[in-house]
Amino acid sequence: MARLVGCTVFDPAGDRLGKVRDVVVIYRKDDPPRVVGLVVEIPGRRHVFLSIGRVTSIQAGQVITTGLINVRRFQQRGGEVRVMTELLGRKVYFTDGSGEAVIEDVAIERDRLGMWDIGQLFLRKPKTSASPFAKGPTTFADWKDVREQQSPGEAQSAEQLVATYSELKPADLANTLLDLPDERLLEVAEELSDGRLADALEEMPEDDQVHILEALGDERAADILDQMEPDDAADVLAQLPEDQREELLELMEPEEAEDVRALLKYGPDTAGGLMTSEPIVLSADATVAEALALIRRHELHPALAAAVFVTLPPYETPTGRLLGTVHFQRMLRYPPHERLGAIIDETADAVPATASAAEVARMLASYNLVSLPVVDQAHRLVGAVSVDDVLDYLLPEDWRSHDGDESTPHATSANPGARR
């Protein structure tokens, strides 16, 4: 299975249809679980169901199909189990009484009738060493040699599943998490690092953000909010009752909480409510080389890296008076030792923190910009609003999960309600 997930799916002509993200099985009374289909990610990051009957070949690194895919979003049905997201990490007991183990991988095999079933299991037994870095021994077993048994309230291990998500971009990770059953979603959220989970939460609808944070408990929620961009953290906290919001702010790091409190003062449909309070701010004496070094930071959002803002001291928001903007492209035209004060674009307008989202959108569109400085009544820089923040506000609330009117030449819709 580990080698199958991520494999490219092709039609008979060799055209790429998508990538395998999971395998769907159904349990049987006395026999190993039977494979009924694959979860395939097609362009647009949509997960769809591909019936195993439409798979003609599964080889190393590729899956060949008949070319027919129903592009309706995958929805798990009762009795179905997803191998990667639900089966891996489950605890099993050996029927011979020799102990327990955790499923780390499974093999699927084709029988003489052409049906695909789960074959061998790759299991890890409990570790025998006291070392925190030690792992238990591994072994192979057939399905008939083990039985599942999970105690009520016992969480299923998500370590193996989290490892498979390590290369996903935040938006893809968010979509993948939201496709999981609720119980499994929370188990995976528990296992993810604070920073990784924060990145994924920033790409989710606010209702889902609140649900996950509430389930994780106040202390872990505060740690995750610390890792989120201040504007995203403020958006989440704005959805909570005032007493709960204040409790989480008290648990956050003081500096992070201060930034979030400042953003909460503004309406959600204003420049102040949409902005981030952590743009790149430099003095007029700073050089092009210093500015480019800050822009190079890996964690910096591309929209915020498009420009630096030159102000009088202090250089943390709210800063001294805003002097102007220096765009990344302009910096590339000057030598590294050039002072920013000498190349300021003084024609670039700032927006007041009270400006409406519509006004901000018009300015970004009119001047072909990806970010704008936001100032208070004293013309002090209080933040920057980027085009992605404005799009988040202008698009429908369900834009992340909305399928739209996309069409695929390989799609079949003879019966829109039928999945297989």
Closest to 325 measured CA to CA, from 349, 301, 305, 302:
349
Distance of alpha carbon 200 from its chain centroid, rounded? 3
Give the number of other CB atoms < 10 A from CB of residue 79: 9
Pairing mode of beta strands 91-94, 381-386:
unpaired
Residue 169: pLDDT band with limits 50, 70, 90: confident
Range from 2-6, 68-72, 155-159, 225-229 carrying the lowest mean pLDDT: 155-159
Position 400 scores a pLDDT of 62
Distance (Å, whole) CA 183 – CA 90: 13
Distance (Å, whole) CA 71 – CA 85: 21
Could you check whether 8-82 and 85-148 share the same CATH topology?
no
Architecture label for domain 159-265: Alpha Horseshoe (1.25)
C-beta separation of 381 from 281 below 8 A: yes
DSSP one-letter string for 158-186: -HHHHHHTTTS-HHHHHHHHHTS-HHHHH
Q: CATH assignment of 281-393?
A: 3.10.580.10
Give the number of other CB atoms < 10 A from CB of residue 130: 6
User: Is the pLDDT at 406 greater than 50, yes or no?
Assistant: no
Residue 214: pLDDT band with limits 50, 70, 90: very high
Q: For the residues 349-358, what does the mean pLDDT come to?
A: 92
Domain coordinates of the chain in residue numbers?
Answer: 8-82, 85-148, 159-265, 281-393
Over the stretch 293-302, which tens digit does the pLDDT of each residue have? 999 886 788 8
User: Is the pLDDT at 408 greater than 50, yes or no?
Assistant: no
Domain 8-82 has CATH 3.40.50: no
Residue 414: pLDDT band with limits 50, 70, 90: very low
Topology adopted by domain 85-148: Thrombin, subunit H (2.40.10)
User: Is the pLDDT at 413 greater than 60, yes or no?
Assistant: no
Position 379 scores a pLDDT of 93
Give the number of other CB atoms < 10 A from CB of residue 242: 8
Q: For the residues 135-163, what does the mean pLDDT come to?
A: 77
